[in-house]
Amino acid sequence: MSKTIGIISLGCPRNLSDSERLLSVFTKKGHKFQEDALNADTVIVNTCGFIEDAKRESVDTILRAIDAKNKGSVKKIIVAGCLSERYGAEMAKELKEVDEFRGVLDYNKFFRRGQACLSPAKLTPRHYAYIKISEGCGHRCSYCVIPYLKGGYKSRTIGSLKKEAAALIKKGARELILIGQDTSLYGIDLYGKKKLAELLKELAGISKKVWLRLLYLHPANLDREIIKVIKDNDNICRYIDLPLEHISDKILKQMRRGVDRKRITSFVNYARKEIPGIAIRTSFIAGFPGETDKEFRELLSFIKEMKFERLGVFKYSREEGTPAYDYKGQVPEKEKERRFKALMSLQQEISRGINEKFRGKALKVLIDAKAGSHYEARTEYDAPDIDGMVYVKGRDLKIGNFYNAMITDAYEYDLVGEVS
């Protein structure tokens, strides 16, 4: 009788991709994948250790797994991922019920630059998939612990990525989402120069019926050539995921982002000029050390001026082992919370205004799921589990198919539409 394996994947899509690879290792050894992870013989908790909230969620999930083991529902617990890499030794002393701790550097040995990373057990729906094009990071932002956990930048070969993309499309994927710690730096280590534009051209040519989406582009490395490739290929989503983190030159320098306000503004304006209607998703950090009212007001003013189509905010998390941990001018938690709420409130107004402009227009949507009397769908301007959705009315629509939906209503983050 084969043993069952379950996994709880926490954090971002990069972790989800790693979880699929971990499952692949176990299923190839004869384990049977079970969706109800806390009733499997072995449960893997793939943790995130990026910020304080993520660490708390990871610890809570491990404790739930331990509780299931004590009740007899689970026989073995494996804790993997960033938290395990970062605190594995300490956790092993405290959490005796956990059988194994595997850090990201342990399971990265399964990563092969020249091989397609195809997993027998996908954790996403059949119609979309994440493709991790690189491992590690080439930056040392002062607030971020990830480079210390995952090591230097390592790109996969263009050939292996084309092979994986073609196989996923053959299995029914209608959207491929390229991910990495910094996708804009792709190829620098393997080919001696950035090759993201070439990779996009190659993948876009496999099938014109499949959406291609880019996540996690670093503003210091993003070339204007990428905009040209998106403009020239209709099947690459008009969507740029560009975490900016701040706009004050003083704060950007302290963050070690390698970019300034002038360059950021120039690129955003260029992208919008070249591709009218492009959706730019970004994120900002509220309450970074040294952020006074002056820098915060500058950030608010910039967001009001630029009106980003998609925007997320994180409260600064003081992480031991990072340079920013010892910075002077640490912002009190209450003030971080106030600034966070002010940024989110502003973006709600901006987002509603942007969505209102879609009323009465037809948008191409990809059906993700059926929920009661309607369907949940996304436009090319929306990444799964990150952005908003379109609630679609229609008859006998098929999950994973594209349709043209007439937009009839708009909310702060979501739209309502009909397919006739």
Q: What are phi and psi of 402, to 5 degrees?
A: -95, 145
Read off the DSSP letter of residue 164. Answer: H
Please count the helices (runs of H) and the strands (runs of E) in the chain: 13, 18
pLDDT at 110: 47
Q: What pLDDT digit, counting tens, does each position of 110-146 carry?
A: 455 555 556 576 899 999 999 999 999 989 999 998 8
Candidates 207, 211, 201; CA nearest to 176 is 211
pLDDT at 226: 97
Q: Which residues of the chain have pLDDT under 50?
A: 110
Q: What pLDDT digit, counting tens, does each position of 284-316 carry?
A: 999 999 999 999 999 999 999 999 999 999 999
User: pTM higher than 0.75 for the full model?
Assistant: yes
Residue 222 makes CB contacts below 8 A (sequence gap 6+) with: 184, 242, 267
CA angle 227, 230, 231 (to 5 degrees): 85
